[in-house]
Structure 1
Amino acid sequence: MKNNSLSKLCAFTVLYVEDEDGIRNNIEEILKHLFKEVYSAKNCSEASIKYLQFKPDLIITDIRMGNETGIDFIKKIRQTDSKTRVIITSAYTDLEYLLKATELHLVKYIVKPITNDNLMEALELFVKSFDDNKIYTLTQNWFFDYTKSTVSNGNEDFLLTKKEAMFLKLLVSKNRIITYEELENSIWDDDSVMTANAMRLFIKNLRKKLPENFLKNVQGIGYYHDSKAIQDL
């Protein structure tokens, strides 16, 4: 059974780069059970195209692939992208490779063969690499990413407005009833008024982007969430 950290992988996408067909197919099959989307490539040229096309959250790449190296591939990405997480796999424990790899700000360097244990350890580090207070579990398979202002259920992403993201973070971080007064003072602009109709429309639109029955109302007081699963990442 996946632990709580690994269960959050279904909110992320991954690009897996490996030139050996057997290894690539086996690991890709494992990743498909964990991630929202899995993209694979058999060489650096193909990986570069898919990286630009899909902008994955995580890249897992082998170091040596024929005349190409995963290190060169990641170096090119790091010229413009410091945020995408990277895990490198390699049969080499050569100090030169290790030193080059440390310059790339990796999540993990996995020495082959890739086992279930060392893969899961690396993936858990990937999840934990995100700043706490930014990704929240709403219910099983539903996640709120405050940095991206999105709610994801593993199959679909819902883009939140600025007010919706602010309110949802307040709701899940406080883990209690958020009163109408708090809602107005914390979310509404100083130059606008939170009328009853505006609030009802706001909540109606937000509910469409959340798990069913997640957002509850206490009449005359405010709103709370109906979930026992919320935890900061």
Structure 2
Amino acid sequence: MKKESNHYSHIKALYLEDDKLIRTIVCEHLEGNLSELLIAENGNEGLSLFKSHNPNLIITDLNMPVMSGIEFIKKIRLLDQTIPIIVTSALTDVDSFIKSIELKVDKYILKPFSPDEILGAIDVLSRQVILSQLNATSFHLEDISEEQLTTLQVVLRNSFSAIVKEIIGKGAPRINIKIKNNFLELYLYENFLPYEYSLSTTVYDVSFINSLRKSVYENFKQKIERKLSYSTGLNINLEDIQVSMNNSVEKFIFSIKNSEK
């Protein structure tokens, strides 16, 4: 069941639900928002659809005939450790909840629920799906979709801002990102500290402050690479740092590619 989506065009979901009424209501709500929605009534059907259609997100009930949701999730995790899974269930016993958590379920929605709750969960996991798609393919920045590019930029901007704040003690008010081939250029603006401006107008010249700031970043090179690689799932290497206090800008050049499998 395939429709063009204006909301989550990158989401190909597999939905498992044995209750016909609930299944119909949820499907009617989801089909117009997703790229594709695969439907199963039990774990056996779901497993078969997973293997033949490669969805990138799963929504499943736990209490189903033939194969329960817990057994289904166990089999899925043997095949794919990272695919986001949303559980919808009326079960309130602690044992089932704990088992689903142990199987790395990403979201748990208790019945009765509104279809909007599922869309809300999909929205939260949407970025995770996009980053997984980037990491699962041969990576060329110029070939990724606009949606993937936007998500990558947001993740990089947020992650890098947090890293800089941790290193310098101040997060840049403005960060711009430029992409050229498989290189990223990140620009920080107006991120110098008051004492640095003070030093530049007294004993030390601006070139000294530039060199000092650059050396601080270079000392944290591995940490910067590690955190950005972790947040994106890609292999990111810091190639060059350029600091200009006169222009109040710091430029970072990264190479980026798929992580090693």
Among 157, 162, 166, the residue aligned to 2:141:
166
Once the two structures are TM-superposed, the CA of residue 175 in structure 1 deviates from its matched residue by 5.4
Deviations, residues 173-214 of structure 1 (Å, cap 9, x unaligned): 5655x7xxx65x96xxxxxxxxxxxxxxxxxxxxxxxxxxxx
Percent identity (aligned): 30
Ranges in structure 1 where 5+ consecutive residues have no aligned partner: 1-5, 136-144, 150-160, 187-233
Once the two structures are TM-superposed, the CA of residue 99 in structure 1 deviates from its matched residue by 0.4
Q: Is the 8 A contact 1:107 1:125 kept in 2?
A: no
TM-score of the pair, normalised by structure 1? 0.56
Matched, 1:54 2:50: no
Deviations, residues 39-96 of structure 1 (Å, cap 9, x unaligned): 0011111111111110100111100013531011010111121021111110012111
Cα 1:75–1:52 change in 2 (3 A) is same
Q: Which SS does the other structure have where 2:39 is aligned?
A: strand
How far apart in 1 are the matches of 2:134 and 2:75?
A: 28
Once the two structures are TM-superposed, the CA of residue 11 in structure 1 deviates from its matched residue by 1.0
In the TM superposition, 1:83-232 aligns within 5 A as 83-130=82-129, 134=131, 146-149=134-137, 165-167=140-142
TM-score of the pair, normalised by structure 2? 0.51
Ranges in structure 2 where 5+ consecutive residues have no aligned partner: 154-175, 184-261
Q: Which SS does the other structure have where 1:26 is aligned?
A: helix
Once the two structures are TM-superposed, the CA of residue 167 in structure 1 deviates from its matched residue by 3.4
CA root-mean-square deviation: 3.0
How many positions carry a matched residue from both structures? 152
Q: Which protein is bigger by CA-based radius of gyration?
A: 2
How far apart in 2 are the matches of 1:99 and 1:167?
A: 43
Structure number with the higher helix fraction is 2
Q: Is the 8 A contact 2:56 2:129 kept in 1?
A: no
How far apart in 2 are the matches of 1:24 and 1:103?
A: 26
How far apart in 2 are the matches of 1:17 and 1:54?
A: 14
Q: Which SS does the other structure have where 1:47 is aligned?
A: helix
How far apart in 2 are the matches of 1:49 and 1:88?
A: 19
How far apart in 1 are the matches of 2:105 and 2:62?
A: 13
Kindly report structure 1 stretches of 4+ aligned residues shifted beyond 6 Å: none
1:46 is matched by which residue type in structure 2?
E
Once the two structures are TM-superposed, the CA of residue 20 in structure 1 deviates from its matched residue by 0.9
Bigger mean CA deviation after superposition, 57-66 or 116-125? 116-125
Q: Is the 8 A contact 2:57 2:129 kept in 1?
A: no
